[in-house]
Amino acid sequence: REEKQLELTLEALISQVADLKNSLVSFIYKLENEYDRLTWPSVLDSFALLSGQLNTLNKVLKHEKTPLLRNQVIIPLVLSPDRDEEIMRQTEGRVPVFSHEVVPDHLRTKPDPEVEEQEKQLITDAARISPDVAQKQIQSLNKMCSNLLEKISKEERESESGGLRQNKQTFNPADTNALVAAVAFGKGLSNRRPPGSGGSVQSGQPGAGAIIAGTAGMQQVPMSGAPAQQQPMLAGVQMAQAGQPGKQVAGLR
């Protein structure tokens, strides 16, 4: 009866492990060949499937009708350095030979001595901590994780808002083009001259110190006593010839 129960348990375990292996192979294939179009929800679905299969496997192992496998001892009957085709078929090509080099790894029922020592040390350290201290450490760790998650969320929000500000247009292209055309080609500017630019300006009158007009309004007026020299007339302000009575030179302020 015990042997029959052991066989049934082994068959159930082999079936569960085969399903778990297929899921792992499928997930690894996605990571290696479909990483460019792999989405996070798809990854979470794969993890959920693996987690469910591991839980099912643990339930089979912890079932009350499952015999204690740790009490079963496996002894290799034949060790050979030669290639074994039957082992190759059962292991899907992973184990070509069943020799003294691979037996300790494949038939081991306990972890490595270094790992086992570290596990014992962790168990001892955990037993020394009182429940109150452990609860305080848990609360402190949860607080650190919450602060870290809050900072990450804040940086993500700032990054998104910064991207929106950069994409927002802060100028009018039509106004910019009109301004460039006006500065470079004078497009849209008025050709009217300021009033009073075409006549003489008397000293003391308003506007005597007005802006000087363009070079198009400049004229040459001969000065008395200096026939070879020319005196310009600026902004239509006529320079009176020296020696003429009753006329004064208009002053520019």
Q: What single string gives the DSSP state of each residue in 117-148?
A: HHHHHHHHHHHHS-HHHHHHHHHHHHHHHHHH
| Residue among 194, 208, 198 nearest 252 (CA) | 208
Return mean pLDDT, the chain: 75
110 or 253, which is more confident? 110
| Strand pairing class (226-233; 219-223) | antiparallel
pLDDT exceeds cutoff 50 at 214: no
196 or 202, which is more confident? 196
What is the pTM (predicted TM-score) of this model?
Answer: 0.41
5-26 per-residue burial string, b: 16 or more CB within 10 A, e: under 16? eeeebeebeeebeeebeebeee
- Give the residue extent of every domain in the chain: 1-72, 74-109, 116-156
Q: What is the pLDDT of residues 65-98, one digit of tens each?
A: 888 877 777 788 888 888 989 888 888 888 889 8
pLDDT of residue 203: 42
Decide yes or no: CATH 1.10.10 for domain 1-72.
Answer: no
